[in-house]
Structure 1
Amino acid sequence: MAYTGVVTTGGPGDVRETSGLTITKVSVGTIDNNAYLLRCRETGEQLLIDAAAEASTLLSLAGDAGLASIVTTHRHWDHWTALAEVAAATGARTYAGRDDVEGIDARIDVPVDDGDTIQVGAVSLTARHLKGHSPGSIALLYRDPSGIPHLFTGDSLFPGGVGNTENDASRFASLIDDVEKKIFAELPDETWVYPGHGKDTTLGAERPSLPEWRARGW
């Protein structure tokens, strides 16, 4: 079946094949947190984005291949409650945005800055710092050389808007500016967006609404 990105907590994952990565999306925890397992098709090495909850589910998803890396998109508790357990069980190296490291109650081995590269086997992911939902929120970009770009946004970009900035005008301005400059201005409409909760989207589906988002302030 074709990938849709629609998953439910306790249900099966949805799998997408790209030229370099196999991407598996699952929903875990009580508030529909998405976790993404990325497997390099050339080497078999695996990386997990957001060990949000349900360590047993995530370890089962990784299987015997284990995990080389775990990336936490931001410091909010619902995106890392299983991090310590999954990292301990797999020995995975852990990554998070530099300005969010102190807010994560688990070991972070590598603080990440804007533009840093994170490897999963033969595949390179580029980190983009999107400040606003949290101080150190990051997105991960995979530019498939034989297909569309794939962007894992955590809680910085969703269908219908940017992430929650708690009615803080300066935080919203920072986030919408970063999202427009680093994401929409640099990437094409066909870029597939994998958010931290709920359904996926594309930049093309969201681009016409950017002026509306900025005008409404959230």
Structure 2
Amino acid sequence: MIDRVITSGTFSLDGGTWDVDNNVWLVGDAREVVIVDAAHTAGPIAERVGGRSVKAIVCTHAHNDHINAARELAELTGAPIRLHPADQVLWEQVYGPEVTYEPLADGEKLMVGGIALQILHTPGHAPGAVCVHAPDLGAVFSGDTLFKGGPGATGRSFSSFDTIIASIRERLLTLPSETVVHTGHGESTSIGAEAPHLEEWIARGH
């Protein structure tokens, strides 16, 4: 139902470049999947998809390391790219205006393999950042909004610490405590493991 592919490459923003490993999540069943974040290299992701149909390529946000395989994967699979339009400025840094996507909306529900995926707009790390909640699976795919040990980075352009804290408090920490958090980088965690530390993050962030 949930599968992970780890791909490696670089993240570039504000004139800096960093080596990163990204988690690419496949959610679905034996017939169809949704890909959460098309990072770095299309080949290994397409290989893991196998013969299944891809219903959508959902981008949790438009930093280059989360979308740089999206166009190629869309061409390989015929699946639409989905992104919250508030990240248009970041999208255009990678693809310009000529590569298009279908807008994601807060509260939208996607169905794949009988599983409901609900889109939660969680700005802060990026203006159009979203998390993908799969209540049937007791999981949320958090992109770079929430990690094991704290919120995503907010020190670069188009990000805001106060906004990401509000998003986590209002949209994520209200989920059941046993909800597994599948992150954009690194290890998974749970809402229950992260919730007690909110005030520490706020103190540290300010």
TM surpasses 0.5: yes
1:131 is aligned to 2:123: yes
Task: Name stretches of at least 5 consecutive residues in structure 1 with no aligned partner.
Answer: 1-21
Count of residue pairs the alignment pairs up = 190
Among candidates 147, 153, 160, match of residue 142 of structure 2 = 153
- How big is the alpha-carbon RMSD for the aligned residues of Structure 1 and Structure 2? 1.8
Between stretches 117-126 and 148-157, larger displacement belongs to: 117-126
Separation in 2, partners of 1:101, 1:38? 25
1:114 is aligned to 2:102: no
Q: 1:167: how far off?
A: 7.2
Structure 1 ranges of 4+ moved more than 6 A: none
Separation in 1, partners of 2:80, 2:113? 13
1:196 is aligned to 2:184: yes
Separation in 1, partners of 2:101, 2:82? 6
Task: Name stretches of at least 5 consecutive residues in structure 2 with no aligned partner.
Answer: 10-19
| SS of corresponding position for 1:187 | coil
Between stretches 153-162 and 102-111, larger displacement belongs to: 102-111
Separation in 2, partners of 1:51, 1:136? 16
Q: Which whole-Å deviations, capped at 9, do the CAs of 1:133-192 have from their partners, x for residues lacking one?
A: 001000000011xxx620000000001111100078x811111011101111x2121010
1:25 is aligned to 2:4: yes
Q: Which whole-Å deviations, capped at 9, do the CAs of 1:75-129 have from their partners, x for residues lacking one?
A: 1000111111110011001111120134224544321121111222322211111
Which residue number corresponds to residue 178 of structure 1? 167
Distance 1:211 1:167, change over 3 A: farther
Which residue number corresponds to residue 14 of structure 2? none
Q: Is the 8 A contact 1:139 1:152 kept in 2?
A: yes
Which residue number corresponds to residue 78 of structure 2? 91
Between stretches 59-68 and 129-138, larger displacement belongs to: 59-68
Separation in 2, partners of 1:95, 1:133? 18
1:48-127 mapped onto 2 (5 Å cutoff): 48-104=35-91, 105-106=94-95, 107-127=99-119
TM-score with structure 1 length normalisation?
Answer: 0.82
Which residue number corresponds to residue 205 of structure 1? 193
Q: Which amino acid aligns with 1:121?
A: G
Q: Which whole-Å deviations, capped at 9, do the CAs of 1:10-56 have from their partners, x for residues lacking one?
A: xxxxxxxxxxxx10012101311000111236xx2111011101211
Q: Which amino acid aligns with 2:4?
A: K
What percentage of residue pairs aligned between the two structures are identical? 36
Distance 1:139 1:207, change over 3 A: same
Which residue number corresponds to residue 162 of structure 1? 151
